[in-house]
C-alpha cells in the first residue's frame, strides 16, 4: 500500500540483479507481484490471510508464473502484529482457529496443482515451536515453516530504541488492540498505549448529523461548529455540549456524516498533519491522498485516523512510545511470562534462534 510501491520495487530489482532471492508482499491484493518477479527472474512469496484471497490472486495472475512461487505466507489476521488482512466476511472480535484456515489454503493449492514442496509459512502468534507440534510433518498441511515477527524485536541487534524494548516486557495479555484507525483502511494490531487510547476516545466523541431537519435530527448543533446546517438528535446535542464543557470544543467532520469533538490543540495537530501529507501511501484515508489519477480518494479526510508515516518515524527514532503507534503481535505478553527473558535478559539473535530450535 506504499505510494509508488511498484516503481520502487522495480527500481530496486533493476539495481540489484543477481543479489535478491525473492520478494514477499502482502498489503492489498498484490496481483502484479508475480509479473514483476518474472521480469527480474526472482522468486515471489505472497502474503495472504485466507484461502479465498490466495485463490483470487492465483486465478488472476499467479497461475501464469507458477514456477517462481517459492512459498505462500499465511498471516493470521487475528494474531499477527501490524496490518492484517481481515475481510468484510470476518469478525475482528471473533478469532478463528488458524489450523482449518491453513488446511483450506493447502487444499486450494493442491486443487490448483501446486506441489506440497511449496511451503506455507505460518505467521502470527508463533512463539514456542512446541505449540505447533501437530502442524509439523502433518500430511494435511504439507510442508510448513514459521515466521516470527515479534520475538526478534527484543534482541541485542534489534534496531528499535531501548524504550521500545523496555516497554515490550511490560505488556500484559490482552494489551494488543486489533483496531481500524489506520489510514490504509486495513485493520492492524498494536499495543493499546496512550496513543491508541486517544484514538479510541476521539471516535467515541462522535455523533451523526444531517444537513436538514428530519427524523431523529430535530435539534441544531450549537457547539463546536460554524453554521446552522448541522441537525442532530436531542440526546446527541446534550452529549456534544458535555464534551465541549470538558474542553473538546472543536467539531471535525468525517467522511461518514458524523462529527467528532477534539480539544483545540488536538484539532490543530490533526489539521497540520493532514496538511503536511507527503504521499507515503497509495491511498490515505487520513489526508484523502491517492498516488494516481486525480490524486484524491474522493472522500473527506478522516480526522478519526492519524498520520502513520509521522508516528512510525517518531517511535523508531526514540520518541516516547506511549505517544506513537507501537506495532506488536498478540503474543507479545510472553515477554513478561517466558522465563527465557527473566531478570531482564535480552538475547542476541543467535541465542534467540538457538532457544527457538529447542521448541521454546
Give all strands of the β-sheet with 72-75 in edge-to-edge order: 22-25, 43-48, 72-75, 120-123, 144-147
Structural domain boundaries enclosing 233: 194-323
125 touches 79 (CB < 8 A): yes
Reported as half-sphere exposure (CB side, CA atoms, 13 A), residue 21 has a value of 3
Looking at the fold, whether 141 and 229 belong to one and the same domain comes out as no
In a domain, 165, yes or no: no
Looking at the fold, whether 220 and 297 belong to one and the same domain comes out as yes
In a domain, 16, yes or no: yes
Contacts of residue 26, defined as CB under 8 A and 6 or more positions apart, other chains included, come to 46, 47, 48, 73, 75, 85
Tens of pLDDT, residue by residue over 114-157, are 999 999 999 999 999 999 999 999 999 999 999 999 999 999 99
Looking at the fold, whether 36 and 126 belong to one and the same domain comes out as yes
In a domain, 144, yes or no: yes
Q: Is the model's pLDDT at 100 over the cut of 90? A: yes
**Closest to 228 measured CA to CA, from 246, 254, 210, 207:** 210
Looking at the fold, whether 132 and 242 belong to one and the same domain comes out as no
Q: Is the model's pLDDT at 183 over the cut of 80? A: yes
Q: CA 274, CA 287: separation in Å to the nearest integer?
A: 5
The domain that holds 14 is classified in CATH as 3.20.20.70
Domain count, the chain: 2
The whole-chain average pLDDT of the chain stands at 95
Looking at the fold, whether 93 and 208 belong to one and the same domain comes out as no
Looking at the fold, whether 9 and 143 belong to one and the same domain comes out as yes
Reported as half-sphere exposure (CB side, CA atoms, 13 A), residue 319 has a value of 13
DSSP code of residue 252: E
Match 482449518 to its residue by C-alpha cell: 100
In a domain, 185, yes or no: no
Tens of pLDDT, residue by residue over 210-225, are 999 999 999 999 999 9
In a domain, 28, yes or no: yes
Looking at the fold, whether 212 and 318 belong to one and the same domain comes out as yes
Q: CA 339, CA 332: separation in Å to the nearest integer?
A: 14
Looking at the fold, whether 204 and 88 belong to one and the same domain comes out as no
Q: Residue 89 has what pLDDT?
A: 86
Tens of pLDDT, residue by residue over 16-42, are 999 999 999 887 768 899 999 999 999
Q: Where are the beta strands (DSSP E) in 148-249?
A: 176-179, 187-191, 206-208, 219-220, 231-232
**Closest to 2 measured CA to CA, from 194, 222, 282:** 282
Tens of pLDDT, residue by residue over 269-313, are 999 999 999 999 999 999 999 998 999 999 999 999 999 999 999
Tell me what percent of the residues of the chain surpass a pLDDT of 70. Answer: 99
Contacts of residue 142, defined as CB under 8 A and 6 or more positions apart, other chains included, come to 106, 109, 110, 116, 119, 120
Q: With bands split at pLDDT 50, 70 and 90, how would you rate the model's confidence at 87?
A: confident
Match 498478540 to its residue by C-alpha cell: 330
Q: Residue 29 has what pLDDT?
A: 66
Amino acid at each position: 500500500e506504499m505510494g509508488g510501491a511498484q516503481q520502487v520495487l522495480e527500481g530496486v530489482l533493476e539495481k540489484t540483479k543477481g543479489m535478491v532471492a525473492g520478494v514477499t508482499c502482502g498489503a492489498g491484493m498484490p496481483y502484479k507481484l508475480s509479473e514483476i518477479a518474472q521480469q527480474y527472474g526472482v522468486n515471489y512469496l505472497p502474503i495472504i490471510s485466507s484461502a479465498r484471497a490466495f485463490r483470487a490472486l492465483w486465478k488472476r495472475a499467479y497461475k501464469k508464473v507458477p514456477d517462481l512461487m517459492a512459498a505462500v505466507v499465511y498471516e493470521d489476521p487475528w494474531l499477527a502484529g501490524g496490518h492484517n488482512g481481515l475481510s468484510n466476511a470476518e469478525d475482528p472480535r471473533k478469532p478463528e482457529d488458524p489450523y482449518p484456515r491453513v488446511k483450506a489454503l493447502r487444499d486450494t493449492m493442491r486443487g490448483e496443482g501446486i506441489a506440497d514442496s511449496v511451503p506455507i509459512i505460518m505467521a502470527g502468534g508463533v512463539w514456542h515451536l512446541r505449540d505447533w507440534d501437530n502442524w509439523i510433518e502433518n500430511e494435511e498441511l504439507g510442508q510448513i515453516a514459521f515466521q516470527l515477527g515479534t520475538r526478534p524485536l527484543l534482541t541485542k541487534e534489534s534496531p528499535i530504541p531501548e524504550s521500545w524494548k523496555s516497554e515490550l516486557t511490560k505488556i500484559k495479555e490482552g494489551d494488543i488492540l486489533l483496531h481500524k484507525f489506520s489510514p490504509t483502511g486495513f485493520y492492524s494490531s498494536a499495543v493499546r498505549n496512550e496513543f491508541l487510547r486517544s484514538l479510541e476516545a476521539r471516535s467515541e466523541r462522535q455523533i451523526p448529523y444531517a444537513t436538514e431537519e428530519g427524523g431523529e435530527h430535530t435539534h441544531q448543533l450549537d457547539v463546536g461548529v460554524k453554521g446552522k446546517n448541522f441537525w442532530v438528535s436531542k440526546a446527541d446535542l446534550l452529549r456534544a455540549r458535555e464534551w465541549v464543557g470538558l474542553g473538546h470544543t472543536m467539531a471535525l467532520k468525517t467522511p461518514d456524516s458524523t462529527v467528532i469533538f477534539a480539544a483545540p490543540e488536538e484539532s490543530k495537530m490533526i489539521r497540520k498533519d493532514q496538511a503536511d501529507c507527503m504521499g507515503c501511501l497509495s491511498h490515505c484515508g487520513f489526508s484523502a491522498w491517492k498516488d494516481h489519477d486525480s490524486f484524491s480518494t474522493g472522500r473527506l479526510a478522516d480526522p478519526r485516523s492519524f498520520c502513520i508515516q509521522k508516528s512510525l518515524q517518531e517511535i523508531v527514532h526514540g520518541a516516547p512510545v506511549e505517544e506513537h503507534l507501537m506495532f506488536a503481535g498478540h503474543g507479545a505478553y510472553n515477554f513478561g511470562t517466558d522465563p527465557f527473558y527473566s531478570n531482564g535478559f535480552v538475547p542476541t539473535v543467535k541465542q534467540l534462534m538457538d532457544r527457538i530450535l529447542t521448541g521454546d
